[in-house]
Amino acid sequence: MISIILAKKIFSLFLIIFMGTAVVRLGILKPEQSKPLSAVALYVITPCMLLSSFQIEYTPEIRNGFFLALAGAAIINGVYILLSAVLRKPLSLDPVEEASLIYPNAGNLIIPIVSSTMGSDMVIYTCAYLTIQNILIFSHGQSVICGEKRLDWHKIVKNINVIAVLIGFTMFILNLRFPAIALDAISSVGSMIGPLCMLVVGMLIGGMDLRKVFTYRRVIFVSSLRLLAYPALIVLIFRVSGIYRLLPGGADILMISILAAAAPSASAVTQIAQVFNKDSQYASAINVVSTLLCILTIPVMAGLYSLLCM
């Protein structure tokens, strides 16, 4: 079931990527014109998506499940950051590779899969992963991609995506809602995240030699680590720790964390690389190749988790 839904979702994403490539190849737009779109995605659409994702009814069961999902996300991100730091020198990881290994496309791909296979009421637990990831990717991830030695906590606190996470989570805990008109506007803008990110990737690819996407020497290697080695380690950690036994239904909640952990590299890595004039083409290549391969690898990781933990 999940593999069929995943295949359909990936195919639809690749159609959008093709549209972005086509407008560049036909001379309608230039690759560099995708940079303002990346900025809009990072600083307008992503905050709206985060705010709208927390606009659900508060219950103790959802609260406890959300905190379990937060714990799972914290473990995953902590392990990924530590593992990548350890492997940086032995594997000669460059900044784009390191960020691509740590941060998966947990929003654009996993939210539709969770909604379709597990029900829309389970999407909140994907938001738990996004809460942790968005705080980290716009702080630690940005510092990795930009080659900064130390985190600038001033910038982190002022980052609009971090602010959106804090506001959204506070409203969730306090069971507060935006007025209907405001929520409709925020949700509508937030729903643009998937298509716009794929268009940006397509436009970047449109400016590349398409053969180059698959001829980057390490793109398959990095994608294999992102899709297989890293999430397999997380499955083993969850199994050994028994964290999935902490709550009734905990195994189902943490299945969502595993799906997020096994997703292809994040589109936000490409967007950050482009906004800060780093190697966005290589980031796009990793994103495209890992997205193509995940149609095979995510069901494998989900099956491994089911075998060991459910």
Whether residue 220 contacts residue 289, with contact meaning beta carbons closer than 8 Å, is answered with yes
Q: Is residue 287 part of a domain?
A: yes
Residue 182 in this model has a pLDDT that exceeds 90: yes
Cα-Cα-Cα-Cα dihedral sign, residues 295, 76, 102, 195: positive
pLDDT at 105: 85
Q: Is residue 141 part of a domain?
A: yes
Residue 70 in this model has a pLDDT that exceeds 90: yes
Q: How many domains does the chain have?
A: 1
C-alpha triplet 7, 10, 272: angle, nearest 5°: 155
Tokens of 72: 């799972």
Q: Is residue 30 part of a domain?
A: no
Q: Is residue 221 part of a domain?
A: yes
Residue 189: closest CA among 52, 36, 15, 39 = 52
Q: Is residue 263 part of a domain?
A: yes
To the nearest 10°, the Cα dihedral for 190, 191, 196, 199?
160
Digit-coded pLDDT (tens) for 208-259: 776 777 778 899 999 999 999 999 999 999 999 999 999 998 999 999 999 9
Q: How far apart are CA 7 and CA 279, in angstroms?
A: 29
What CATH number is given to the structural domain containing 18?
A: 1.20.1530
Digit-coded pLDDT (tens) for 29-58: 988 888 888 888 878 988 898 888 788 888
* pLDDT (mean) for 190-215: 79
Q: How far apart are CA 223 and CA 269, in angstroms?
A: 14
Residue 138: closest CA among 75, 47, 248 = 47
Q: Is this prediction's pTM over 0.75? A: yes
**For residue 63, what are the contacts with CB-CB under 8 A and spacing of at least 6?**
173
To the nearest 10°, the Cα dihedral for 55, 57, 58, 63?
-80
Q: Is residue 29 part of a domain?
A: no
Q: How far apart are CA 49 and CA 60, in angstroms?
A: 24
Q: How far apart are CA 84 and CA 58, in angstroms?
A: 36
One DSSP character per residue, 249-266 reads THHHHHHHHHHHHTSPBP
The three-state secondary structure class of 56 is coil
Q: How far apart are CA 196 and CA 1, in angstroms?
A: 27
Task: Categorize the per-residue pLDDT at 81 as very low, low, confident or very high, splitting at 50, 70 and 90.
Answer: very high
Amino acid at 209: D
Task: Categorize the per-residue pLDDT at 149 as very low, low, confident or very high, splitting at 50, 70 and 90.
Answer: low
Residue 106 in this model has a pLDDT that exceeds 70: yes
Q: Is residue 31 part of a domain?
A: no
Q: Is residue 49 part of a domain?
A: yes
- Domain of 50? 2-24+36-309
